[in-house]
Structure 1
Amino acid sequence: MNDDVTYTAFVGTRCLVSGGLREVLLRTKALLDEGSDEVVLLFDDRTGRQVDFNFQGTPEEVVARATPAAPRTGPGRPKLGVVSREVSLLPRHWAWLEQQPQGISAALRRLVEEASKRDPGKEQARLAREAASQFLTTMAGNLPGYEEATRALFAEDAGRFAEQIRAWPEDVREHAARLAKPSFRQDEAAP
């Protein structure tokens, strides 16, 4: 399991646990095994998306099912982490790629590397905005100020964002602020 990826489980508007996948799964499984009939929502903190897991069986079975399967084999160079995927381009793009030294794949890898290095802070901010937006839609879509908070998030207005979420339940407010923080300039980041 990827240790730097965090997940968060909410029971209603209360944060049950936030941490690595194993920790979140085990804590959630323990709550469910106690017979709780409360709705538990789990989120991938990288994307802000709600994720589902099968909690049937023992805690170790739950964790084992959630562990990513071995990489598929087939086209590409699996031992190097290269997996063949389909890319759709216009004919002029293919023509340009075919003229590049070292081949099409090498040219695409160079383009991706250059783009990812161009402005990593801007990309990190965009990803944080998207993750916060996903979380807000699920957990705060019916809360007062949701639409204005979302507008403030995409306008990169940390002060207005903090003002709009101030009256929300504490755990929802704190998690939304944590997910959104990288999307604001550091000199005005939301609390």
Structure 2
Amino acid sequence: MNPGSDAAYIAFAGDRCIASGELRQVITAAKETLDRRKDASILVFDGRTGGPIDIDFRGSVGEVLARLPEIPGAPAVEVFPAPRGPGRPKLGVVAREVTLLPRHWEWLARQSGGASVALRKLVDEARRANKDKDRIRHAQEAAYRFVAAMGENKPHYEEVARALFSGDAERFRAWTASWPADVRDYARRLAAASFERAVTHENVAG
């Protein structure tokens, strides 16, 4: 099977990809594989984070699916909606506690629109400024979680990890060349976004 990097979830039996797609679809395929091969080693990965998720495969397919969490690995966050004032539009605003030093509050109070508006502007500016860095870091972390789980005992594991974090796409591809095809291809797809900036800069320089 050709593992796609945009799959929400992906399952491997040993080094072979057996399913990719939505969680229930992937878990069903994984459970069917385990029922046919009791000694199969199954790992299911979250395609967004690259990390393995814990699945209890005991019982029937229905029982396994019934035990699935809604969003595996996602921390529970309690959100308190901010009270609405007269005529206040529904902007999806949520109230959270923010701890700052007095000089920070003084500066925020002097800004147009008050502290809340100023904080939102600062966050948006930081998000825009760090967009590429955040995307690259996320891709590196996702690829490394997968590589650490599936490639630790594979040839050149340490070289692969170093190439990933140094942004060296050529070496990453070279060191993963001898890996099993499904593992190699999925690792490369997860890592691809972390190499995009370097490629873009090289093209501009050329």
TM-score range, shorter chain: 0.7 to 0.9
For the 8 Å contact 1:101–1:107, the answer to whether it is kept is yes
The unaligned stretches of length 5 or more in structure 2 are 1-5, 84-89, 201-206
Whichever residue aligns with residue 27 of structure 2, its letter is L
Q: Which residue of 1 aligns with 2:136?
A: 125
- Counterpart of 1:66? 69
Regions of 4+ moved over 6 Å? none
User: Comparing 58-67 with 164-173, which one deviates more in the overlay?
Assistant: 58-67
Please give the secondary structure, in 2, of the residue aligned with 1:15.
Answer: strand
Tell me, yes or no, if the aligned pair for 1:149 and 1:164 is still in contact at 8 Å. Answer: yes
Partner of 1:141: 152
Q: Quickly say closer, same or farther: Cα 1:185–1:59, change in 2 above 3 A.
A: same
14, 20, 23: which is aligned to 1:21?
23
Aligned counterparts of 2:138 and 2:130: Cα–Cα separation in 1: 13
In the comparison of the two structures, how many residue pairs are matched? 185
Distance 1:76 1:156, change over 3 A: same
The residue number in structure 1 matching 2:51 is 49
> What SS is found at the alignment partner of 1:107?
helix
Once superposed, what is the RMSD of the aligned Cα atoms?
3.3
Contact 1:9 1:43 survives alignment (8 Å)? yes
Provide the rounded CA distance (Å) in 2 between the counterparts of 1:112 and 1:173.
Answer: 37
2:7/2:20 contact within 8 Å kept: no
Shift of 1:72: 7.1
Matched, 1:75 2:77: no
Deviations 1:133-181 (A, max 9, x none): 1111111112221111111111111111111111111111111001011
The answer to whether the 8 A contact 1:29-1:59 is kept is: yes
Distance 1:93 1:31, change over 3 A: farther
Matched-pair identity in %:
47
SS in 2 for 1:185: helix
- CA shift for structure 1 position 39: 2.1
**Structure 1 81/160 Cα, relative in aligned 2: closer, same or farther at 3 Å?**
same
Offset of residue 24 of structure 1: 1.2
CA contact (8 A) 2:167 2:198 kept: no
* TM-score normalized by the length of structure 1: 0.77
Task: Give the CA deviation at 1:83.
Answer: 4.8
